[in-house]
Amino acid sequence: MAKAKFDVYDHVTNEIIAQIEAGTPPWRKPWTGGAAGACLPRRFNGDEYRGINVLMLWATAATQGYSSARWMTYRQAGELGGQVRKGEKSACVVKFGTVEREDDNGEERRVPYCRAYRVFNADQIDGLPEEFYTRPDPARDLGTEADPTLDAFFARTGAMIESTREPRAFYDRRRDVIHMPPIATFHAAQGYYGTLAHELTHWTGGDKRLERFKRFNDRKAYAFEELVAEIGACMLSVRLGVQPTFDQSAAYVEGWLKALKEDKRAIFRAASEAQKAADFIMQSVDRDDATKAKETGAIAA
C-alpha cells in the first residue's frame, strides 16, 4: 500500500486547530520557557522566522518549555559543533518557493510550492556556542500606568488614536480612527497596549495602507480579519517587549475554527497578512524617526 502523501497545509492547520480547541492558540503565549522573555524565533544564523513558522515554533516552544530563541536542522547543529540529544523530537517548519514548470503550451512558468522540513531548538542540542542558549529579556512589567516609551511608539505610527469614556476599543474604517477607552479603565497596562496593537493591526488594512479590506471582503472576511489582528498584535507586542493579553469571546474563537476547517490554507494567509501588518507598523515608525532626524539635522538630507 502506497504511503499517503504528506500534506503540509493539513498538518499545520490541524495542529493550530487542536491548540485553539484546547484553549491554547500559539499566539496566546508567544514567548518561550517559563519566566523567560518574549521573543521571535530565529534560525541558526540569527535571521527571524516569519509568518506561519512563527506560530508553529511558538506552539512547540510553549508545549515543550524551550527557552532559547534559536532553531536549526540536525545538519546545521552538527556544522556548529553541536549534537542533538538522542530521543529529541523535531518541530515542523515550512519553506515556500517556486519551481520552473512547463505548461500545456510548452511555455516555462513559475509554480509556487510549500515544503515542510524539521528543526530542533537549541535547548535540545549539546555543544553549541554559548550565544545560542541566550535567553530573551523578560517582558516588561508595566503595572497599571501608561508607558511613555510605548505611547511615543504608537504615536509615531501615524495612526489617529482617540480616547473617550466610551468603554469600547475599535477601529472606525469610515473615519480611519482608532478609538480606545482611557488606560486607567484597564486592569493592567499590558491589556491596554495589547488591545491597541490589535486595533492598530486592523488599521493597517485600510485603503491608504495595505488594502487588506479590499482583498478579503467576502462573507468569511470578518473572522479572518480578527484572526489577522490577534496574530499581528502578538507579533508587534513581542517586538515591543510587552506580554500581550487577550480575552476573546467564544464567538471569535468559533469564527476562527470555522474559517480554518473550511479552508486549510486560511491560517497560512492569516499569518502572512499579520506579518505584513507588523512589518508595515515597524516601517512606519522607522520612517517617522528618519524624518524627524532629518528635520533636526541629525541626518544629512
Query: Which residues partner with 72 through β-bridges?
Result: 120
- The answer to whether residue 90 scores a pLDDT higher than 90 is yes
CA distance 163 to 178: 8
pLDDT band at 144 (very low <50, low <70, confident <90, very high): confident
Higher pLDDT, 82 or 27: 82
13 or 290, greater pLDDT? 13
- Residues sharing a CB contact under 8 Å with residue 263, sequence separation 6 or more, in sequence order: 220
CB atoms within 10 A of CB 181: 16
Is 48:41 a contact under the CB 8 Å cutoff? yes
- Which value, to the nearest 10 degrees, does the dihedral of the CA atoms of residues 198, 200, 205, 206 take? 140
Asked if residue 251 has pLDDT above 90, the reply is no
The percent of residues above 90 in pLDDT, for the chain, comes to 59
Domains of the chain: which residue ranges?
1-136, 155-301
Closest Cα to residue 100, out of 108, 92, 90, 91? 108
pLDDT at 27: 87
Task: Report whether pLDDT(57) > 80.
Answer: yes
Instruction: Give 36 or 10, the one with higher predicted confidence.
Output: 10
Res 266 pLDDT > 90? yes
How confident is the model at residue 101, as a pLDDT? 82
Q: How far apart are CA 295 and CA 301, in angstroms?
A: 9
* pLDDT tens digit sequence for 167-211: 999 999 999 999 999 998 988 888 899 999 999 999 999 999 999
Fill in the DSSP letter of residue 170. E
Asked which of 49-63, 141-155, 188-202 is least confident by mean pLDDT, the reply is: 141-155
The per-residue pLDDT of the chain, averaged, comes to 88
Q: pLDDT per residue over 275-286, tens digit each?
A: 999 999 999 999
User: What is the predicted pLDDT for the residue at 247?
Assistant: 64
pLDDT digits (tens, 9 = 90+) for 206-225: 999 999 999 988 767 889 99
Say whether pTM exceeds 0.85. Answer: yes
Query: Is the backbone of residue 84 left (phi > 0), alpha (psi -120 to 50) or beta?
Result: beta
In one letter, which amino acid is 136? P
Rg (CA), the chain: 21
Greatest extent of the chain over all pairs of C-alpha atoms, in Å? 72
Report pLDDT for 299.
46
pLDDT for the residue numbered 245: 65
Instruction: For strands 91-102 and 161-163, give the pairing.
Output: unpaired
- Count how many residues are written for the chain: 301
| pLDDT value for 2 | 53
**What pLDDT band is residue 231 in, cutting at 50, 70 and 90?**
very high
User: What is the reported pLDDT for 34?
Assistant: 45
109 pLDDT tier (thresholds 50, 70, 90): confident
Is residue 3 very low, low, confident or very high in pLDDT (cuts 50, 70, 90)?
low
Supply angle C-alpha 68, 74, 79, rounded to 5: 90
Report the pLDDT averaged over residues 244-264: 83
Instruction: State pLDDT tens for residues 110-129.
Output: 888 889 999 999 999 999 99
